[in-house]
Amino acid sequence: MRTTNLVAFTKTNCGKLLTEFGFQIEQRDKKRLVFEPDNKPAKCEGCHKELTVDKVGTVAPGSHLLFCDDPICFAGWIAEHKVEA
């Protein structure tokens, strides 16, 4: 797993952040889809739905794991992995 520090971002700079992390962004039918460096679609670690740039909500601290903008996905992952603050 690749690691990174805690990252804050906005919807306007999300695409740039993702490309700096090695993800690829591809425009299809008015959506900017996110792909892993190995060209597989990037998916939310919580709900496992494919991500678009507009739907990325969180990058897990200490990793490059992506979550959609539904706060339940990130909270559920934290509870499941017993992440301590």
Q: Map 24-50 to HEC letters.
A: EEEEECCEEEEECCCCCECECCCCCCE
Is residue 4, in this structure, part of any structural domain at all?
no
Residue 76 lies in a domain: yes
Q: Sorting pLDDT into bands at 50, 70 and 90, what band is 25? A: very high
Write the burial class of residue 59 (CB in 10 Å: 0-12 exposed, 13-18 middle, 19+ buried).
buried
Q: Is the residue at 85 inside a domain?
A: no
Please tell me the pTM assigned to this model: 0.80
**Structurally, how many domains does the chain consist of?**
1
Whether residue 7 lies inside any domain: the answer is: no
Contact status, residue 53 vs residue 42, Cβ threshold 8 Å = no
Residue whose tokens read 């017993």: 82
pLDDT band at 82 (very low <50, low <70, confident <90, very high): low
> Hey, what are 44's tokens?
């939310």
Find the mean pLDDT for residues 36-51.
94
Find residue 66's DSSP bridge partners. 59
